[in-house]
Structure 1
Amino acid sequence: MRATDVLADPLVEVTAVLLTVPIVELYALLWRAGVLEVRLPASKRRPAEVPALRPVG
């Protein structure tokens, strides 16, 4: 039996679908308000391997 053959609990599935949009909107609101801070993971390359960006023209 494959994992896709197993159906999720209908109550859990409906609850997840109903809460997905409000949770995403709440996250966006908190991010814009400055409550949350989003950080990108640090680069694992050494500084010599990171290409230098130069302005064009």
Structure 2
Amino acid sequence: MKATEILADPLVEVTAMLLTPPARELYALLWRAGLLEVEHRAPKRPAAEVRELRPAG
């Protein structure tokens, strides 16, 4: 048992587990039918101002 499962409400957890797959399938169906549109928005700042993350060390 995970630590997060101990604090979670069992009814909410079961409901989420049951509704998540059908919600994903419905989203995919609507997307394929052309009723939903996915947009990839450009960053608000120019690329020159965006700093890259580098590992410490």
Please give the TM-score of this superposition, normalised by the length of structure 2. 0.64
Runs (4+) off by over 2 Å: 3-6, 43-47
Aligned alpha-carbon RMSD (Å): 2.3
Q: Which runs of 5+ in 1 are unaligned?
A: 50-57
CA distance in 2 between partners of 1:36 and 1:20 (Å): 18
- The size of the alignment, in residue pairs, is 46
Q: Which runs of 5+ in 2 are unaligned?
A: 49-57
Please give the TM-score of this superposition, normalised by the length of structure 1. 0.64
**Structure number with larger C-alpha Rg:** 1
Percent identity (aligned) = 70
Q: What corresponds to 1:13 in structure 2?
A: 13
